[in-house]
Amino acid sequence: RKEVEQDPGPFNVPEGATVAFNCTYSNSASQSFFWYRQDCRKEPKLLMSVYSSGNEDGRFTAQLNRASQYISLLIRDSKLSDSATYLCVVTPRYYGGSQGNLIFGKGTKLSVKP
């Protein structure tokens, strides 16, 4: 089982639609959670961190359910500029060795059409 699994996609939606991305992680000791955005042939960029209490940034809402080991990202009123691949990311708990590395899901591609 992969450490981080995401909806395979792609998602093709019209402008103004609401779209939800789902992600599950296998290591219950995972420490931190993020959504990154990656444009075609570019580097990943942090979109938002994800907290247990849920957090919102404009049209974007992220949720974390530690009991279910589930992370979500909701985009409301989608724009053409939201077209990108969305990567779910977790970090492992520090055990004194390898730490701080980001574990990425495969990503879900979103295309927003006019």
Partner 1 sequence: ETGVTQSPTHLIKTRGQQVTLRCSSQSGHNTVSWYQQALGQGPQFIFQYYREEENGRGNFPPRFSGLQFPNYSSELNVNALELDDSALYLCASSPGAAYTLTYEQYFGPGTRLTVT
Q: Determine if 113 is a binding residue for partner 1 (CB under 8 A).
A: no
Among 42, 66, 79, 113, binds partner 1 (CB under 8 A): 42
- Nearer of residues 4 and 62 to partner 1, judged by Cβ: 4
Among 22, 46, 65, 66, binds partner 1 (CB under 8 A): 46
Round to whole Å and give the CA distance between 37 and 68.
24
Q: Determine if 101 is a binding residue for partner 1 (CB under 8 A).
A: yes
The span from the first CA to the last CA of the chain, in angstroms, equals: 37
Q: Determine if 103 is a binding residue for partner 1 (CB under 8 A).
A: yes
In our burial notation (b when 16+ CB lie closer than 10 A, e otherwise), range 43-61 reads ebeebbebeeeeeeeeebb
The residues of the shown chain that bind partner 1, judged by CB under 8 A, are 4, 31-32, 42-46, 49, 87, 91, 93-94, 97-107
